[in-house]
């Protein structure tokens, strides 16, 4: 790359326009006008520093484009069926009333027609605790089946945000549940956790609602 090409690549649109005006006004060559314009933009740091900084910005932008292209390509590949061996999981929890009796529901699907359904009583608690118990249950099932690449989805923004936030920012009342969920996620290195709208989580929701409708477990009196 020659000097003029180097300066053109480094200049922003406003600087290119300013250098064009300088060429017309002062009768300078494009190289000289660009050099003066960029030197003015660089200030005390100097032209060499500005050129190095702009080169780093271009490299970063190129890397970002490459990364986005790779993600788009992977998404297209999944769409054509190459990714159908990936595991998927849905979870949901409910409390009747809130707080009250908790029901947890979840579905885990994998290659070869594997399908695991979870629907059972979650004890007494609030809806967020029920959602966490459902997440923990389906993650535990994923670990048991070796589903390292599982995509886990649920409609609880509270729980998903709590898991994904830094430990220092998690809800104190849910800290114990978060620790259990994160310990299981650590055993699923490629797992992803995402939010989905409630209407796309109907299977897990039905399983959680069914769990709260079941008779309470009998207790044995001493």
pLDDT of res. 25: 93
DSSP code string of 180-221 = HHHHHHTT-TT-EEEE--GGG-HHHHHHHHHHHHSPPPP---
Name residues whose C-beta falls within 8 Å of residue 207's C-beta, 6 or more positions apart in sequence: 92, 104, 105, 106, 107, 117, 118, 119
What domain count does the chain have? 2
Same domain, 159 and 189: yes
**Token pair in block for residue 97:** 């009333």
Q: Which of 95, 116, 71 is nearest to 159 (CA)?
A: 95
DSSP code string of 38-91 = HHHHHGGG-HHHHHHHHHHHHHHHHHHHHHHHHHHHHHHHHHTTTTTTS-EEEE
Same domain, 190 and 94: yes
* Interval 186-208 mean pLDDT: 93
**Token pair in block for residue 217:** 């477990």
Model confidence, pTM = 0.60
Same domain, 127 and 208: yes
pLDDT digits (tens, 9 = 90+) for 160-169: 999 988 877 8
Determine, yes or no, domain membership for 220. Answer: no
Name residues whose C-beta falls within 8 Å of residue 182's C-beta, 6 or more positions apart in sequence: 163
Determine, yes or no, domain membership for 173. Answer: yes
Last residue of a domain, one of 49, 79, 109: 79
pLDDT tier at 222, thresholds 50, 70, 90: very low
pLDDT of res. 72: 59
Same domain, 8 and 67: yes
Same domain, 116 and 195: yes
Determine, yes or no, domain membership for 222. Answer: no
pLDDT digits (tens, 9 = 90+) for 10-57: 888 888 999 999 999 999 999 999 999 999 999 998 999 888 888 887
Same domain, 104 and 138: yes
Separation of alpha carbons 161 and 141, rounded Å? 22
Print the domain residue range for 40.
3-79
Pair 104, 118: CB distance under 8 Å: yes
Beta-bridge mates of residue 27: none
pLDDT of res. 83: 44
Radius of gyration in angstroms for the set of CA atoms belonging to the chain, rounded to a whole number: 28
Last residue of a domain, one of 79, 111, 135: 79
Q: What is the CATH number of the domain that holds 131?
A: 3.30.420.10
Determine, yes or no, domain membership for 219. Answer: no
Same domain, 113 and 176: yes
Q: Is the pLDDT of residue 184 over 70?
A: yes
Same domain, 209 and 123: yes
* Interval 133-148 mean pLDDT: 95
Same domain, 72 and 112: no
Determine, yes or no, domain membership for 221. Answer: no
Same domain, 53 and 162: no
Comparing 19 with 74, the larger pLDDT belongs to 19
Question: 3-state DSSP call for residue 110?
Answer: strand
Pair 112, 160: CB distance under 8 Å: no
pLDDT digits (tens, 9 = 90+) for 102-129: 999 999 999 989 999 999 999 999 999 9
Same domain, 93 and 116: yes
* Interval 187-208 mean pLDDT: 94
Same domain, 59 and 115: no
Separation of alpha carbons 59 and 100, rounded Å? 55
Last residue of a domain, one of 34, 59, 79: 79
pLDDT of res. 71: 56
């Amino acid at each position: 790359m020659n000097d003029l090409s180097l300066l053109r690549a480094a200049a922003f649109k406003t600087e290119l326009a300013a250098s064009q005006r300088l060429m017309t006004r002062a009768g300078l060559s494009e190289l000289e006008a660009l050099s003066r314009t960029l030197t003015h933009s660089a200030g005390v740091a100097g032209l060499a520093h500005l050129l190095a900084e702009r080169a780093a910005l271009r490299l970063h932008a190129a890397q970002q484009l490459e990364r986005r292209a790779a993600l788009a390509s992977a998404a297209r590949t999944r769409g054509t069926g190459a990714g159908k061996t990936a595991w998927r999981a849905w979870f949901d929890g409910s409390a009747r009333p809130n707080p009250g009796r908790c029901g947890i529901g979840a579905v885990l699907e994998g290659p070869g027609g594997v399908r695991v359904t979870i629907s059972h009583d979650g004890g007494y608690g609030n809806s967020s605790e029920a959602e966490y118990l459902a997440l923990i249950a389906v993650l535990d099932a994923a670990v048991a089946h070796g589903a390292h690449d599982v995509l886990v989805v649920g409609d609880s923004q509270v729980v998903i945000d709590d898991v994904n936030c830094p430990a220092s920012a998690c809800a104190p009342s849910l800290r114990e549940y978060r620790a259990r969920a994160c310990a299981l996620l650590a055993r699923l290195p490629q797992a992803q956790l995402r939010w989905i709208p409630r209407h796309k989580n109907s299977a897990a929701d039905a399983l959680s609602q069914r769990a709260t409708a079941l008779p309470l477990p009998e207790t044995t009196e001493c």
